[in-house]
Amino acid sequence: MSVFPSLPSALNNAPAAASVPTQADLLEFVRRAAADTALIDSLPLDPEGRTWVRLEGPGGSEAWLIGWPPGTGTGWHDHAESIGAFVTARGELRENALAARLPTDGWKTLELTDGVDRTRQLPAGLGRSFGHHHVHEVLNQSTSEHAVSVHAYYPPLPLIRRYSRTGQVLRLEQVERSEDWQ
């Protein structure tokens, strides 16, 4: 878990300093980074736990290169007020997401209605962008292969809310601040 001081200039074509990156800007950045085989190969992989390296994202965004051992995942979470994008660079990831906007405050447990679940298989080269309060989990379901992905968020993540899910019941379990994972 080290810090990359900067990406090659070909990757970090950030919007002008006064420009706030959009979901499209973040997706373009993670696609370029995921296609950089030297960058992807530089990530140390741990056979048991996820590994990550912080990258310099466009327009002041926060970006991460993440290694996923077989059978690992994030659990259900959101990125609060940040927009984001991610692309699988190697292997395949699965995203389970909710196609519903949840209230941001004042609740601990919600019962989800039928039809809000979305699933995406994201092999190498595929990814997606998302808006504020996007609730999802990301998984490497392979039993034998590591996956590697690139993620970017703007504004830089102030917090992540973690949830547990049993059937259609979603429960807020924990709020992590950026200092918890940096």
In the chain, the number of structural domains is 1
pLDDT(12) > 80? no
**18-65, pLDDT tens digit by residue?**
589 999 999 999 999 999 999 999 999 999 999 999 999 999 999 999
Q: What is the reported pTM?
A: 0.87
Task: Provide the strand spans (E) within 38-168.
Answer: 51-56, 62-68, 76-78, 83-90, 92-98, 109-111, 117-123, 127-130, 136-139, 147-154, 159-166
Give the residue-averaged pLDDT of 150-166: 95
Picking from 105, 65, 112, 110, the residue whose alpha carbon sits closest to that of residue 89 is: 65
Query: Is residue 133 in a domain?
Result: yes
Picking from 134, 128, 177, 135, the residue whose alpha carbon sits closest to that of residue 156 is: 177
Percent of the chain with pLDDT over 90: 78
At 105 the pLDDT is 79
**115-149, pLDDT tens digit by residue?**
999 999 999 999 999 999 899 999 999 999 999 99
Query: Is residue 125 in a domain?
Result: yes
Query: Is residue 15 in a domain?
Result: no
**Contact between 89 and 32 (Cβ < 8 Å):** no
Query: Is residue 18 in a domain?
Result: no
Query: Is residue 114 in a domain?
Result: yes
Picking from 39, 42, 84, 35, the residue whose alpha carbon sits closest to that of residue 63 is: 84
Strand partners, 101: none
Query: Is residue 8 in a domain?
Result: no
CA distance 79 to 97: 13
DSSP-assigned letter for residue 39:
H
Query: Is residue 10 in a domain?
Result: no
Range of 130's domain? Answer: 23-180
CATH classification at residue 167: 2.60.120.10
Query: Is residue 63 in a domain?
Result: yes
